[in-house]
Amino acid sequence: MSSVATRTYNKKPIFPGVSRKVLPVHRWLGIALGLLFALWFASGIILSFVPFPSLSNRDRISRGESIDLQQVRVSPAIALAAAGVEPVMHLRLISVAGHPRYALSSVGRPILSVSAESGQTLGPVSENVARAVAAQFSGEEISRIDGPFQYDQWTVHERYGPYRPFYKISIADAAGTCIYVSVSSGEVVQRTRRTERAWNWVGAVIHWINPTLLRKHQSVWHWTVWSVALLGTVLTLAGIWLGVVRYLGLKRLRRPGVSPFTGWLRWHHSIGLFAALFVLTWIFSGWLTVDRGTLFSSDEPTAFQVERLRGVSLAEAAENFPVSQLRKLQNPREIEVTAVGGHPFLIVRVAGVSSSELVSVDDDGTLQTSRVIPDKLLLSAIQSAWSPVSVIGIQEISQNDAYRVRSNPLPDTARRIVLNDRTHTWIQIDAASGEILSVTDRSRRLYRWLVDGLHCFDFPLFYHAGPLRHVLVLVGTATGLLFSCTGVVIGVKRLRRSLSA
């Protein structure tokens, strides 16, 4: 052997001390989490095409009952007083099985119902009423009714908390539809179909580690997912270190190829060199999806800010709408009492494309309708809610706005109000209702790119790219799945050797 060759092949490994410490971390975390990685990628492919089942507000309103306003004898103000709960965040008038009722929502409490006919608080909805509600909503025959129960796989999310418990009504249709009726309010709050449920068992349920037994304990579920995803990030970082070190060592020895290994290890190393960055960003961004204000700010307004935005209490706003004014409305499906900047409004939701309109009362008692709240009033209300921070301006949010998110789209009536604070906060508000959609400072805008961007490929570049985004998601997740499967095989082989030793 020549002296040059001797010098080449006698070179010491790169960072041997660090690699010796990193190797067992990667090996044993890989054995523990390798199968979960593969399941994450496989279920991610499914979830990209079949989302978790949900009932949109448009469908809920369109299929809901019209309110017979001639039966309404109790005003919103009297219903609030009869309920005797504070603070009430939402006050709505709805119809359940032909009878109007007020549904009152408070933070951390079940929805309370008050009869709009008698003013009496109402107890749990009966099975017969739930059956009638589901039959009217679906227009089909009922084959079965179950419940009441607190949780099942399709109502386990915390957003359903105020509506618990539920009746599940199975519909006698070809789609295998199931409808969930709230025992508290009598409303239809969820709808699933057989195909959705089948795909989501191997999609969202696996991807979010979302079995009912775990997810109904929110804090335990959150800690579990947060910890497992963090360990997955550590595993990926350790693999990247070892993969790059092995590749550089091979090049220092002037050997051909990209991997010094053979068999499954060679496949794992070679694919990892090309897929490592995607796997890391995908696992890391997945970990951030369960961040609850630990690393990034929350996008939810506080209850105090919501009250300041209204400018008056709901009780004061409700005084402006006696029964005689309610009866002037045309074919409402739902009426909500609210206020913005001290001005009381009714949000009247009807069936059809134009989903709602705003109704206010002039000094002479005349009803005035509009589609959106004026920008001037929105600016004044936000200024009051976030005082002493000043407001810079307000703007409509275009369809091509970089901060629109596919998973939680903004309505066409959304407005962005910019504050003059140190974090350059944006208040995004729905001008059709006065509802604050999000509070987005610099931290939260960074979160949008790290989570929605990296995890879902939700970038403006793909807004008009047609199916290109889905193709990229499919290629990325399929590559991650292949890479994870090689790791599973290696882990099983290593575990067998360890157990037989």
Name residue, tokens 């496989």. 42
The two tokens of residue 335 are 């009426």
Strand order in the sheet with 99-106: 121-122, 112-115, 99-106, 88-96, 334-340, 343-349, 356-361, 367-370
From start to end of 116-164, where are the E strands?
121-122, 142-149
pLDDT at 3: 42
Break the chain into its structural domains and give their ranges.
1-50+203-297+455-501, 57-202, 303-440
**Three-state DSSP class for 203?**
coil
Name the stretches of the chain with pLDDT < 70.
1-13, 353-355, 501
Residue 356 pairs with which residues in a beta bridge?
Answer: 349
Residues 6+ apart with CB under 8 A from 144: 169, 170
pLDDT at 92: 97
The two tokens of residue 32 are 């523990």
pLDDT at 353: 58
Using only the alpha carbons of the chain, give its radius of gyration: 28
Give dist(CA 137, CA 78) in Å, integer.
29
Q: What is the pTM of this model?
A: 0.90
pLDDT at 498: 84
pLDDT at 108: 83
pLDDT at 461: 86
Name residue, tokens 């944006």. 426
Question: Which residue, 150, 210, 196, is CA-closest to 54?
Answer: 196
Q: Could you give the angle at the alpha carbon of 57 between the alpha carbons of 52 and 63, nearest 5°?
A: 105
- Cβ atoms of 100 and 93 within 8 Å: the answer is yes
